Amino acid sequence: MKIAITCHYARLPEDHPVWRRAVSLADVVLSKKVNLTSDELIDFIQGADALITGTDWMREDVIKQVPDCLKVISRPAVGYDRVDIRAARKRGIDVCNAPGTNTDAVADLTMGLILNCARRIPDYIEGTRALEWKLEGKQMNLSGKTLGILGLGSIGKAVAVRAKAFGMKLLADDPIWDEDFCGQYGIEKTDMETLLGASDVVSLHLPLMEHTHHIINEENIGKMKDGAILINAARGGLVDHEALCRALEDQKILAYGADVMEEEPPGDHPLFHLKNAYITPHIGANTLEASQNMMQTALTNALDILEGKECKNIVNRFEDS
Ligand X SMILES: NC(=O)c1ccc[n+]([C@@H]2O[C@H](COP(=O)([O-])OP(=O)(O)OC[C@H]3O[C@@H](n4cnc5c(N)ncnc54)[C@H](O)[C@@H]3O)[C@@H](O)[C@H]2O)c1
| Residues near ligand X (CB under 6 A) | 78-79, 99, 102-103, 106, 150-156, 173-176, 205-208, 211-212, 233-235, 259-260, 282, 284-285
In the bound state with ligand X, the residue whose beta carbon lies nearer, of 49 and 297, is 297
Q: How far is the CB of 101 from ligand X (least distance, A)?
A: 8
The residue among 48 and 285 lying less far from ligand X, judged by its C-beta, is 285
CB-count exposure of residue 302 (10 Å: 0-12, 13-18, 19+): buried
Instruction: Find the shortest distance in angstroms from Cβ 257 to ligand X.
Output: 12
Q: Strand (E) positions, the chain?
A: 2-5, 27-30, 50-52, 72-74, 94-96, 146-150, 169-173, 187-189, 201-204, 228-232, 253-258, 277-279
Beta-bridge partner residues of 228: 253
Return the beta strands (E) in 140-190 as ranges: 146-150, 169-173, 187-189
Total residues found in the chain within this entry: 321
Q: How far apart are CB 293 and ligand X at their closest, in Å?
A: 11
Residue 222 CB, nearest approach to ligand X (Å)? 18
Q: How far apart are CA 75 and CA 65, in angstroms?
A: 19
Nearest-CB residue to ligand X? 153
Given 210, 235, 241, 249, the catalytic residue:
235
* Residues 185, 165: Cα–Cα separation, whole Å: 10
Spatial CA neighbour of 200 closest among 240, 141, 250:
141
282 is catalytic: yes
* Three-state DSSP class for residue 260: coil
Q: Which is nearer to ligand X, 67 or 99 (CB)?
A: 99
Catalytic residue status for 264: yes
Is 8 among the catalytic positions?
A: no
Residue closer to ligand X (CB basis): 26 or 279? 279
The residue annotated as part of the active site, out of 8, 82, 264, 269, is 264
Which residues are known to be catalytic? 235, 264, 282
